[in-house]
């Protein structure tokens, strides 16, 4: 197993800013460390599913991943309001050497709840038939395992008493699922289509490995109000930034990948001149 040498190896830099927020490039912990204590209502993000490690079948629970996530959540606790929320997209990964699952996220969540006094408020399941193909190492046509098509979000807080408006969930669901349930069937929004059309005009496919804007938008409307501060330290191609921008939330989003933040900047720029939905 090898550890990434990229994380933490570069200074945090600002890539783009608006009246509501700032897009940065750098390590996720450095992003959080740049924020004032007690200033954030919601952190919604998708950390690396196996952290900066390659996990094989001899270490399926990966204590090192747990150490990494615990350190991340300690910094989340510092910047959160006392009744703020963290929503983590986490999942199993395939072992690198054999077609078996690793469960490092379960082990890490158990530590957070059992040893570090976080509360798991609920799991939410997002149905996405095109879920991050990069994780399907052993899946696909002809492979020994099936493709993943559901991603799990874990909603955590330091207190069970967080401000939440479950009625806002009714805006998002379709008749295919329980409208007030925790199975999410969310599609692309017009904000997603703006960039898809731009890439198509340049002869490029849609950007890979992204959640549609509707996914962070769901959690932002559920758990925040206009003017609250929303953070995504593993911001990828900017869906959280766009969702916060469209709804009048302050935001900070970050990613280590230059390609991802360049796409995020382009997607944010394309919002100019378009009406808020």
Work out the number of other CB atoms within 10 angstroms of the CB of residue 175.
7
Output the pLDDT for position 243. 95
Residue with tokens 């944010």: 268
Residue ranges of E strands in 26-169: 40-45, 80-90, 93-94, 101-102, 119-127, 150-157
Q: Average pLDDT, whole number, for the chain? A: 88
Lowest mean pLDDT of 30-39, 146-155, 157-166, 220-229, name the range: 146-155
Average pLDDT over residues 169-189: 82
186 half-sphere exposure, CB direction, 13 A CA radius: 27
Nearest 10 degrees: Cα torsion 43, 49, 54, 59: 110
Residue 132 has what pLDDT? 52
d(CA 201, CA 195): 10
**Is the distance from CB of 213 to CB of 277 less than 8 angstroms?**
no
Q: What is the pTM of this model?
A: 0.90
Of 229, 170, 176, give the one whose Cα is nearest residue 22.
Answer: 229
8 in Cβ contact with 25 (< 8 Å): no
Name the pairing type of β-strands 150-157 and 119-127: antiparallel
Q: Tokens 């696909």 identify what position?
A: 140
pLDDT band at 210 (very low <50, low <70, confident <90, very high): low
Are 23 and 12 a contacting pair, CB within 8 Å? Answer: no
Which pLDDT value is given to residue 134? 45
CB neighbours of 277 closer than 8 A, spacing ≥ 6? 189, 190, 191, 246
CA–CA gap between residue 187 and residue 206 (Å, rounded): 14
pLDDT of residue 105: 97
Which has more confidence, 254 or 207? 254
What does the block give as tokens for 128?
């996405």
Contacts of residues 125-131 at CB distance under 8 Å and 24 or more positions apart, as own/partner, are 125/150, 125/151, 125/152, 125/153, 125/182, 125/183, 125/184, 126/89, 126/150, 126/151, 126/152, 126/153, 126/184, 126/186, 126/211, 126/215, 127/177, 127/183, 127/184, 127/185, 128/211
pLDDT in tens, 7-39: 445 799 999 999 999 999 999 999 999 999 999
Q: What is the pLDDT of residues 74-121, one digit of tens each?
A: 999 999 999 999 999 999 889 989 999 999 999 999 999 999 999 999
pLDDT value of residue 197: 72
Whether residue 66 contacts residue 109, with contact meaning beta carbons closer than 8 Å, is answered with no
């Amino acid at each position: 197993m090898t550890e990434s040498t990229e994380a933490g190896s570069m200074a945090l830099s600002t890539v783009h800013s608006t009246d509501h927020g700032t897009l940065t490039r750098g390590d996720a912990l450095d992003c959080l460390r740049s924020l004032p204590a007690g200033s954030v209502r919601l952190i919604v993000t998708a950390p690396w599913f196996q952290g900066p490690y390659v996990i094989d079948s001899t270490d399926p629970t990966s204590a090192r991943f747990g150490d990494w996530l615990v350190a991340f959540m300690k910094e989340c606790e510092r910047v959160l309001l006392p009744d703020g929320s963290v929503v983590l997209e986490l999942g199993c990964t395939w072992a690198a050497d054999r077609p078996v699952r690793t469960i490092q996220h379960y082990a890490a969540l158990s530590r957070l709840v059992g040893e570090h006094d976080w509360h798991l408020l609920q799991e939410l399941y997002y149905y996405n038939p095109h879920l991050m193909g990069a994780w399907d190492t052993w899946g696909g046509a002809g492979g020994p395992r099936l493709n993943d098509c559901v991603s799990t979000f874990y909603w955590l807080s330091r207190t069970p008493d967080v401000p939440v408006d479950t009625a806002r969930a009714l805006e998002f669901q379709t008749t295919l699922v329980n409208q007030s349930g925790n199975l999410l069937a969310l599609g692309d929004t017009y904000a997603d289509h703006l960039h898809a059309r731009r890439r198509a005009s340049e002869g490029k496919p849609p950007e890979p490995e992204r959640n549609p804007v509707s996914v962070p938008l769901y959690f932002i409307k559920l758990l925040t109000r206009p003017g609250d501060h929303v953070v995504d330290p593993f911001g990828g191609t900017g869906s959280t930034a766009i969702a916060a921008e469209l709804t009048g939330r302050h935001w900070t989003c970050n990613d280590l990948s230059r390609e991802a933040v360049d796409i995020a900047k382009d997607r944010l720029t394309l919002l100019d001149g378009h009406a808020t939905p």
